[in-house]
Amino acid sequence: MRVSKQYIETIIDSIDEPIVCLDQELTLFFINNEALSILNLRREDAVGKSAQEIAMRNDLLRRLLVGMDGSKAQESEDKKAEPLKIYADNKESYFQVKYLPVRMTASDGSIRESGTVIMLKNITEFHKLDVAKTTFISTISHELKTPISAILMSQQLLADNRVGGLNPEQKELSDSIRENGERLLSITGELLNMTQVESGVLQLKPHITKPIELIDYAIKANQVQADKFHINVEVDYPKEKISKLYVDSEKIAWVLTNLLSNAIRYSSENDRVIIGALQQDEHHIILYVQDFGRGIDPRYHESIFERYFRVPGTKIQGSGLGLSISRDFVEAHNGTLTVESELGKGSKFIVSLPV
């Protein structure tokens, strides 16, 4: 038995990622050399000792134990944990932490947890690449906004009859310039929003807002598009009193505008779209947008909220960022964004926000 334990310890020690093993009483059962190094511990002062006692004078171990307490809740929420930042040797390193329960089968056949293995994967290089990518996209988006705005301004001057009339072919070209310019401006705006979220600098400026004000903004922003495709936008708003929201109205209005724009684009000509609000309960308001188009396959109900994802076979142009950013904005308000959809019956996107 001792030989087997030494054999396993030798293998684990050869792994160049930090590994810490705890028993059910949170005693340090085993710790490899990499873990000793980043925790700044000596083996004789760690193995066989209480992890909680060591954590009282070791900040990093304390953070790992706190993370272990919240790991089950994290798994139930099905969200990716933030990387652990460690500053050592005059540099920052980033680790993804995994908590693996050790389960053993008792003599009666029952399974019980006998400890936890904490594994740290060094993702510093990946983190640097991710930061570089975010910075690059942010810089490019900022740089593109000015020339795109200048192009749109020039197009407006060309289309102004006071400058001179355009023949049908010229007007068609002018309209094409405007449509593509507006699309580019929308994409750069989405990219800037995405980099705000990714870099952790998303700032909310909440104030008290009536839900109907957000709905009105979204309708006005999409009126031209709705008229173009002959889509009738219906408003479903309760006659009884509805609570006000304390939100960053600019960001939530952006979410509703994006959802309504999608609903219009994925609807058939002369179809209808509903945008509405209702009091979910005493503490929550629901805002929703419903269309009656082709619907979304249930397999993709979560994937559509991922960056750059587009449902296979979709012909509508888009960046694949709108729904991802919308969910980020809503979750920043401690709300949720979900979808209900069936193929051939349309889709309903539901925003639930605390009041």
pLDDT in tens, 218-237: 999 899 889 988 999 999 99
Average pLDDT across the chain, whole number = 84
| Dist. CA 326–CA 257, nearest whole Å | 10
CATH of domain 203-355: 3.30.565.10
The predicted pLDDT at position 70 comes to 62
Strands 84-88 and 91-105: antiparallel
Return contacts of 311-320, CB within 8 angstroms, 24+ apart: 316/265, 316/266, 317/183, 319/187, 319/190, 319/191
Structure tokens at 99: 């908590």
| 179-187 average pLDDT score | 78
Q: According to the per-residue pLDDT averaged within each range, which of 23-32, 130-139, 150-159, 183-192 is highest?
A: 23-32
Cβ(293)–Cβ(267) below 8 Å: yes
Structural domain boundaries in the chain: 2-122, 124-202, 203-355
Q: Could you give the 3-state DSSP secondary structure of residue 50?
A: strand
Cβ(269)–Cβ(309) below 8 Å: no
Residues 113-148 have pLDDT tens digits of: 788 999 998 888 887 777 777 777 777 777 787 788
E strands, the chain, are 19-23, 28-31, 84-88, 91-105, 111-122, 207-209, 232-236, 245-247, 272-281, 284-291, 336-342, 346-354
Q: Could you give the 3-state DSSP secondary structure of residue 241?
A: coil
| 20-31 average pLDDT score | 90
CATH class of residue range 124-202: mainly alpha
The predicted pLDDT at position 3 comes to 55
Cβ(218)–Cβ(349) below 8 Å: no
* pTM of this prediction exceeds 0.75: no
Residues 83-102 have pLDDT tens digits of: 888 876 677 888 889 998 88
| 58-74 average pLDDT score | 77
The 10 Å Cβ neighbour count of residue 43 is: 13
| Cα 252 from chain centroid (whole Å) | 15
CA atoms lying within 13 Å on the CB side of residue 189: 15
In CATH, the architecture of 2-122 is: 2-Layer Sandwich (3.30)
| 179-188 average pLDDT score | 79
* Cα→Cα distances 303→159, 252, 340, Å: 41, 21, 13
pLDDT at 76 over 50: no
